[in-house]
Structure 1
């Protein structure tokens, strides 16, 4: 749906009499004959929507402004109008300056008629200015560029008449019966739907398929808006092409629904397109579920993604000015939410920083100020997040296109709004009516912000999660595959280095060892006999003997590893020692731990983006335990693994174990991270009192003092390099 509604409510609080009133007091302005006025209630306040049937634009005015507009009949002069308002309004009389300001707004919106020859140069200049503003707003919005095509009103009128029996409560019941089971099935097949999502969607052949399907899906979306608008009695006179992220998709102008007096009817028009898409996504999902792998199944999957993901990210979200925004505005009963939220922040700045006590708040009903305060920053952050997410997603497969979208996003979402804000600030600071004190406050704030960002050194640290762990020598592992035969040490007993804990048996290895012993003895006999007869000929058997002896030594080494021994001294802890006899263990299986009297180690993983900072700019390391938050323990870096890895030292660091690291859902052990990292091992002081092996800890690396601005720049640069591989 198109956005064309303008809020033109007047502001109060100005001086009652204007010194230039005598110049215009005898004029009798009137509204153009092509205008229609509709009344609506928003938060129990009466508003009026002026419909411009020539330009297909809609302008909303509050009740106070309408008191003046209704008297613009071409016969009542401005002096008579003001006297009449004085008789009717009493103490709420609008000032002459407010009346002139409102007339200026009506004139700029081309709502006033004139009986004199118009200033053609002014009209042409105004038309060019409006055209430039519309084009600039379109081109600087990386989400949409609009090109109108034709008038679909008659077609939609006939379609609405034929589909009227379906577009009722029966249709709503059919929609629920179709969509609800699809949601349940999609949740149960979520892993299959999302597996390798990026590769499946961004493959070149699939992109070509999406380019064909996307306009077809969106034309149904727009027709849903149009049909709902026609059923409510509205008109639809504009259908065209919108370049959505360079992809041509249809759009339909259904803004005549803004004149509907019932907000539920307006909300239904806003939601109609999304209801059609969700229904289409459900049908496509059923086809994907039932079809065998092939082209048809791939088409069904693409339609399911298009009709669901795009609806959630763009249309349904009220923070973007699409369907969800207009539905939220009607639901909250806050007209022109985005514009008035921006004006609310401007009002706060003018009132509290510039000291303009006469600045008028755009909040005209209880509760509006709360939503104004939230909407502008959240909308800005979400728009920026969506655009950068799309850029990163696309750059993963097509680097140049992703970078182009990222640059466009920075220009349109950050640089241009910042430039406008600075221009607005400069104009307001240099404008009259501001004394020197607010100017000094603004300059002091700007200077303070600059010093804070780029000159003031502040504490800087990096914080990561770790786990209390033992040295490698304290881990008791099976040195050879075999069955447990005898347990020679019990849990919680003190061991000396080299003491045997468990004996394993491997009948196959024993047979190999006996056979190899026999072969070695035979080779020895042949060598000795040959050497006695002919020492020179005996050398031929020496190589055979050495080969057999080497094989025997290897088997003997494996046999020796069947005896599991303690590599260090300490207190033994075995897992289920009573059930060990007779159990089969593979080589490398962890059987238990020998907890030494020395403090445990801390094993941490460091993100690749932080590794260089930690390695080169760490002044000190501190460790904090979750059950002893009042104590900080110094630590030293003992070793670091020079290669990046996806394996976690403990499942406790992954999300499945309560940590912060995202792990691969296909890995049952919970120890495979989705991104690679570097591993560090830290040493704790000798007086560290805790031996809770496996407990998570928080580790802080202290770095030299550094201004915040430098950190922000490094973080943005790191983000760019990480996602765009430059």
Structure 2
């Protein structure tokens, strides 16, 4: 036992006698390269870990003994490795506080089995709340007996073969699997009952696999019940008896059995997905594949929280009580920073950790940060849910209190006696914490108050400057079209289409005009002989003017079917169009500017492409309304480009509001004009603003490709962190 000497005042032994609690189970197991003794307290099924020296001391107390007698026995048997009186006193006090030792007459009442039960502090585990369960060990004993009748090699072979076949099928058609999962997630609100039932069955199989593995390895599952994991009710099986198994691979197998069961379910889901037709069964299998693979690895396989991955890592690393050891290492690291020396009171907490203290500190820090991240996300969702209700501020205070309690409980706290001794032992050790605390406060205030650079990231698309959409006012057949990518001359034809319907109507109107005009001329010649005919002239004159006006309108519409360019412009074709089978006879295939599409029909209003400056480019950004007050004309914008070391740069030219449909979304034409998949949150915003950015041509040698999807980073005025937090709260929780 490695201990550190303490002050002489702590070496005064009392005359009380100590005796080992008989309601304990002792088991020697191997962790890594060394042996560890596991002691289980039967009353509340708590586990404690001791090395050989500590367990030898514990065994000496099987009969009542005072501290002085125990110290003498340690000196006689352990000699140079004997602990100091102070360290032995602290060790015995730790055993007594955990009800492993009984003091004096206490054994008369407690030794008979009336050990105080374990209290579950739900405030420290808000993400996993357990309800009392039942003892199902008989059922699992029977199930384990049935499973032992199956040859182990056969079971392993079938399992691995199924995983290999399912993995091969998923790999060969992975894009289709991803698409089906996305589509099934979109349709889940209409068939959520089937998915919930399948998910519940998968999680029940997960827990039952833990219990069966524990019984197959010689342990027992003594408690089965319901717990609320992240607020969702699910089954749990207490397999803590796995820590009494002497072989490491048995313990790892028990910890990994749940994930292995879900992988088996995922493999069956792949086979169902591969063989089934689109429908409820197909969608449910697709979602189960994702839940039983990706989400299982992210949550259950994550070693930063006390789930399956944590216990697997603890066993493979050879560190029992990994969370407590990492918290101790993190506390020692903080103590060393504050006081400039090691915390002597923590030197004997865990032995053999000196060589891996850096790894333990890193794990402890990552665990605390991850837990804070998960709690923050859940708290944010809960606050959004109660926003606008009378429960907002009580819920907010409860969430903050829970967050602070869990965070500080993850790190732990030093012993009060040690802290008092440190404050009184050396004046310099009092001044250093004060200086460190002052430096931390000043640094925190500086970080909160000092304005820091910030940017606003907005999705956008590259477009030619002075661009216009190429659209035809009417439907017609393509007669002539220019090749995209060619610099055009003044009045050069971009696209010419023949609207035969309007052309036929024009011929009819012209014939009707000539007929009316001839009739008017005839009446004027005959009115001297028949004056009554003069009464028809006003009506015929009105008909003639209407026919002439209609002819002029038709000529204007036919003229619009002939699009001409200005000097220096270029045509940029839009995305390729693939019509359905019944459209191929009358619409184009691919680009309407392709030579093979001559004579094909162009629908009225169809967006055919863009015409704009051949060399100058702009960036069009889709700015959500809630960010409008941050953006100003003239602000600098950086656009990172893949394959280029330097980003493109530009300044904001204009900000204009895109018209709204009035139903809460953007019109289709406005979204199509970006020619980029905008985020759903922006595309569904009631008001989105079009921000035009002039690019600095000196930042690149040739023009950027049109229709290139980019991300613009608008450089905003500097703002302190407290200003950003306040704005975030106002935007998300204002009534």
Instruction: Describe the SS at the equivalent of 2:653.
Output: strand
- Partner residue in 1 for 2:631: 614
Q: 2:717 aligns with which of 689, 704, 709?
A: 704
SS at match of 1:569: coil
CA distance in 2, matches of 1:490, 1:257: 71
Separation in 1, partners of 2:205, 2:683: 41
1:484·1:504 contact (CA, 8 Å) conserved in 2?
yes
Show the counterpart of 1:349.
334
| Partner-residue secondary structure (3-state), 2:3 | coil
Q: CA deviation at 1:247?
A: 4.8
Moved more, 469-478 or 386-395: 386-395
- Describe the superposition over 1:595-632 as per-residue Cα deviations: whole angstroms up to 9, x where unpaired: 367x43222233555333225xx773244674876688
Match of 2:11 among 13, 21, 34: 21
1:714 and 2:694 correspond: no
Question: Quick one: structure 1 residues 165 and 422, their matched pair in 2 at CA, closer, same or farther if it must change by over 3 Å?
Answer: closer
Q: 2:703 aligns with which of 689, 692, 712?
A: 692
Q: Distance in 1 between matches of 2:81 and 2:684?
A: 65
Alpha carbons 1:68, 1:99 under 8 Å: kept: no
Counterpart CA distance in 1 for 2:402 and 2:382 is: 18
Deviation at 1:291, TM superposition (A): 6.3
Alignment match, 2:59: 70
Q: Alignment partner for residue 209 of structure 2, among 224, 234, 249?
A: 224
**Displacement after TM superposition at 1:372 (Å):** 2.6
Per-residue CA deviation, residues 195-227 of structure 1 (Å, 9 max, x unaligned), is 2526525x6x845x6676666544433322222
Compared CA separation, residues 700 and 506, structure 1 to 2 (3 A) = same
Does residue 235 in structure 1 map to residue 259 in structure 2? Answer: no
Q: Which residue of 1 aligns with 2:162?
A: 178
Who is 2:555 aligned against?
A: 556
Q: CA deviation at 1:679?
A: 2.7
Change over 3 Å in CA distance of 1:628–1:161 after alignment to 2: closer
Q: Which of 400-409 and 88-97 deviates more?
A: 400-409
Deviation at 1:331, TM superposition (A): 2.4
1:47 aligned residue (36, 44, 64) = 36
For residues 399 and 217 of structure 1, do their structure 2 counterparts lie closer, same or farther at Cα, with a shift above 3 Å needed?
farther
Equivalent residue in structure 2 for 1:681, among 692, 696, 699? 692
Query: Alpha-carbon deviation of 1:545?
Result: 4.6
Change (3 A) 1:161 1:465: closer
Equivalent residue for 1:455, pick from 449, 460, 463 = 449
SS of match in other structure, 2:352: coil
Paired position in structure 1 for 2:510:
517
Residues 108 and 428 of structure 1: CA distance in aligned 2, closer, same or farther (over 3 Å): closer
C-alpha distance in 2 between matches for 1:683 and 1:712 = 31
- Name the CA shift for 1:33/1:699 in 2 (closer, same or farther; >3 Å): closer
Quick check: 1:36 aligned with 2:25? yes
Q: Distance in 1 between matches of 2:635 and 2:236?
A: 59
Q: CA deviation at 1:268?
A: 0.8
1:265 Cα deviation (Å)?
0.5
Offset at residue 144 of structure 1 (A): 2.5
Aligned CA distance change for structure 1 residues 486 and 211 (closer, same or farther; 3 Å) = closer
Superposed displacement of residue 23, structure 1: 2.9
Moved more, 339-348 or 603-612: 603-612
In structure 1, stretches of 5+ residues that fail to align are 1-9, 655-660, 665-671
Matched-pair contact (CA < 8 Å) for 2:637–2:650: yes
Uncovered stretches (5+) of structure 2, i.e. residues with no partner: 424-428, 574-590, 660-664
1:465 touches 1:698 (CA, 8 Å); kept in 2?
yes
In structure 2, which of residues 613, 621, 626 is the aligned counterpart of residue 595 of structure 1?
A: 613
What SS does the aligned partner of 1:318 have? coil
Distance 1:485 1:214 in 2: 59
SS at match of 1:59: strand
Instruction: Deviation per CA, 1:544-571: give whole Å up to 9, x if none.
Output: 55554454334322321232211x3315
**What displacement does 1:269 show?**
0.8
Query: Where do 1:186-225 residues align within 5 Å?
Result: 187=174, 188-195=176-183, 197=185, 200-201=188-189, 206=192, 216-225=201-210
**Structure 2 partner of 1:569:** 567
Aligned to 2:422, the other structure's residue is in SS state coil
Per-residue deviation, 1:264: 1.0
Q: TM-score, normalised by structure 1?
A: 0.78
Per-residue deviation, residues 255-300 of structure 1 (Å, max 9, x unmatched): 1111112211001111222323333454466557666788877877
CA separation in 1, counterparts of 2:101 and 2:545?
110
Structure 1 range deviating more: 55-64 or 262-271: 55-64
TM-score relative to the length of structure 2: 0.77
Q: Which residue of 2 aligns with 1:61?
A: 50
**Range with greater deviation from structure 2 (695-704 or 527-536):** 527-536
In 1, Cα distance between the equivalents of 2:78 and 2:399? 50
Answer whether contact 2:326 2:361 (CA < 8 A) is retained.
Answer: yes
Work out the CA distance in 2 between the residues paired with 1:619 and 1:488: 37
1:638 counterpart residue number = 654
| Equivalent runs, 1:261-276 vs 2, <5 Å | 261-276=246-261
Task: State the match for 1:668 in structure 2.
Answer: none
The answer (yes or no) to whether the contact 1:215–1:248 under 8 Å persists in 2 is no
Q: Distance in 1 between matches of 2:106 and 2:483?
A: 110
Q: Which moved more, 1:81-90 or 1:285-294?
A: 285-294
The CA deviation at 1:111 is 0.9
Are the aligned partners of 1:474 and 1:596 in contact in 2 as well (CA < 8 Å)?
no
1:251 to 227, 236, 261: 236
Q: Secondary structure at the match of 1:189?
A: helix
Q: Which moved more, 1:377-386 or 1:244-253?
A: 377-386
Q: Is the 8 A contact 2:469 2:607 kept in 1?
A: no
Q: Kindly report the root-mean-square deviation, in angstroms, between the aligned alpha carbons of the 2 structures.
A: 4.8
1:47 is paired with a residue of what secondary structure? strand
- Residues in 2 aligned to 1:381 and 1:711: alpha-carbon distance in whole angstroms: 21
Contact 1:182 1:282 in 2 (8 A): yes
Query: How far is the alpha carbon of 1:106 from its aligned partner?
Result: 0.8
Whole-Å separation in 2 of the counterparts to 1:111 and 1:272: 32
Residue 48 of structure 1 and its aligned partner are, at CA, apart by 1.4
Correspondence 1:51-200 to 2 at 5 A: 51-74=40-63, 77-86=66-75, 89=78, 92-114=81-103, 116-117=105-106, 127=116, 131=119, 134=120, 137-138=121-122, 141-166=125-150, 168-183=152-167, 185=169, 187=174, 188-195=176-183, 197=185, 200=188
Offset of 1:574 from its aligned partner? 7.2
Bigger mean CA offset, 226-235 vs 505-514: 505-514
After superposition, the C-alpha distances for 1:219-253 in whole angstroms (9 at most, x for unaligned) are 43332222211111112222222234555433221
Q: What is the CA–CA distance in structure 2 between the aligned matches of 1:297 and 1:488, rounded to whole Å?
A: 48
Aligned with 2:22: secondary structure?
A: coil
Alignment of 1:574-585 (within 5 A): 579=595, 582=598, 584=600
1:478·1:585 contact (CA, 8 Å) conserved in 2?
Answer: no
